[in-house]
Structure 1
Amino acid sequence: MSERLSGKKALITAAGAGIGRATALAFAHAGAQVLATDIDEGALASLAAEHSAIATQRLDVTRADETAALVKAAGPFDVLFNCAGYVHAGTILDTDDASWQRSFSINVDGMFHLCKAVLPGMLERGKGSIINMSSVASSIKGVPNRFAYSVTKAAVIGLTRSIAADYVARGVRCNAICPGTVKTPSLGERVRALGGDETAHWQSFIARQPMGRLGEPAEIAALALYLASDESAFTTGTTHVVDGGWSN
């Protein structure tokens, strides 16, 4: 076991599957005590069974009261990884008010409340690392039919840079990760929702990748591990693109 996160306590959202799950396991293997959260309690139970350093708790990131209660009871935390997200498909003309509001509630408001909840504990101890999940589909690259999603993920970059600037002299770092297309259960659900030939849909995602393949959750988790560790002590306010060259 690596000791890169020895002595650190980490809070991770959307840890039941995909990038969140891979990151929870990476953090635990690196020596951290991990509180993994999700709305899928079954997925959390199977995750907890994989490593003794992982505790779990159900958390709906759209509920500010749940967030505040969790941090009050389980904090303070050395690391926060805001991984929860929602992908709405469509152009601006396809986006109704409910979809717009849901996109912001999960992708932006949830991060706002979590950052606001964990920051006092980090500031009191003069250290902490916040890692926010953005996307290449944001201010990095325009992606068709991802209007609401792209707008929220651009907002995440602004949120990240603002927190980094406000607390750079007080020991708290804040960075964003911008993945490209990653092979996760969430992507699988979106492929199935398209209907028709699933193999053809997967091939269309792969065809737009310069590397000829999709990213793997563990590859994003490796970057999150670096940003959580003291190895990245001089890194704050950054957006890290991990997309296999898609945005080049």
Structure 2
Amino acid sequence: MRLHDKIALITGASAGIGRACALRFAAEGARLVLNARQPEPLQALADQIRAAGGEAVVHAADVAGPDTAQVLVDLAKRAFGGLDIAINNAGMLGPGVPAAEFPVDAWRQVMATNLDAAFHAARAQLPALLARGGGSLVFVGTIVGHTVGLPGMAAYASSKAGLIGLSQVIAAEYGARGVRCNVLLPGGTDTEMGRQAAPDEDALDFVRSLHALKRLAGPEEIANAALFLASDEGSFVTGSAMRVDGGVSINRT
């Protein structure tokens, strides 16, 4: 198993890409610290993992909360003895309105959830990774704001693009000490959040058509890419913005 005895922290784990990562990592032997805002689906996921012979503990909280990042790292230390992998996946879209009409309070909420929380997570996670001799830090971003600009997503695109700069600096600062840091850039993915952006079948058909593969990703496909970055298979990959986008960034057909 590729993550045997590794300790992994996953935020936004109750649904979508985060849930798929949790199940995939558990199947590869990781011991998991899981976070999401809603306690019921989070606990159900942990129960499912334990029923299959895995190990998981949970902490339900908003990643934008001032203490959440450190609480999760402390839980990893208390439950399993440390931290080897962090998948910072939690995020939000915000209202789909043009930039000039975007409410300032909504802008700040999106930034707090998608970018500020990632910074606070890194500040808490890096010392724990260093204490174990290094590890893998992954931010889940998006192609929106990197290779694609979509209307109504000013805050989302800006916050997720900021993850790339943060990751590159962390990679440069901590690479010599054994920490790898990367950003995963999914294309259109069949998740609850994805369906917020494309709420009906016509919208989904349009999003599918933007991709070279003419379909959306399953969350499991994005989790497979996260596994590569988290595992020793990605041992020479750091500071990368890794597109897993079905060709949406290059497609013109």
Offset of residue 204 of structure 1 = 2.0
Residues 1:29 and 2:27 are matched in the alignment = yes
- Partner residue, 1:195: none
Residues 1:92 and 2:107 are matched in the alignment = no
- Partner residue, 2:88: 82
Aligned mates of 1:127, 1:229 — CA distance in 2: 12
Is the contact made by 1:59 and 1:67 (CA closer than 8 Å) also made in structure 2?
no
Offset of residue 114 of structure 1 = 0.9
- Partner residue, 1:19: 17
| Residue of structure 1 aligned with 2:203, choices 187, 201, 204 | 201
Letter in 1 for 2:12: A
Provide the aligned length of Structure 1 versus Structure 2. 241
- Partner residue, 2:42: 44
Report matched runs for 1:102-181 at 5 Å.
Answer: 102-181=109-188
Residues 1:55 and 2:57 are matched in the alignment = yes
Specify the SS of the correspondent of 2:239. Answer: coil
Aligned mates of 1:70, 1:247 — CA distance in 2: 34
Offset of residue 98 of structure 1 = 0.7
Letter in 1 for 2:63: V
Runs of 4+ in 1 over 4 A off after TM superposition: none
Offset of residue 87 of structure 1 = 0.9
Is the contact made by 2:84 and 2:132 (CA closer than 8 Å) also made in structure 1?
no
Aligned mates of 1:166, 1:234 — CA distance in 2: 16
Specify the SS of the correspondent of 2:193. Answer: helix
Specify the SS of the correspondent of 1:49. Answer: helix
The superposition leaves residues 15-60 of structure 1 with CA deviations (integer Å, 9 ceiling, x where unpaired) of 0000000000000000000111100111112211221122222121
TM-score for the superposition, normalised by structure 1? 0.93
Aligned mates of 2:72, 2:155 — CA distance in 1: 29
Residues 1:245 and 2:251 are matched in the alignment = no
Offset of residue 190 of structure 1 = 4.1
Offset of residue 103 of structure 1 = 1.1
Is the contact made by 2:33 and 2:72 (CA closer than 8 Å) also made in structure 1?
no
Aligned mates of 1:73, 1:30 — CA distance in 2: 21
Aligned Cα RMSD in Å? 1.3
Offset of residue 121 of structure 1 = 1.5
Residues 1:210 and 2:212 are matched in the alignment = yes
Query: Gaps spanning 5+ residues in structure 2: where?
Result: none
Specify the SS of the correspondent of 1:50. Answer: helix
Offset of residue 146 of structure 1 = 1.3
Offset of residue 237 of structure 1 = 0.3
Aligned mates of 2:44, 2:75 — CA distance in 1: 23
Aligned mates of 1:94, 1:219 — CA distance in 2: 35
Specify the SS of the correspondent of 1:51. Answer: helix
Offset of residue 243 of structure 1 = 0.9
Residues 1:64 and 2:66 are matched in the alignment = yes
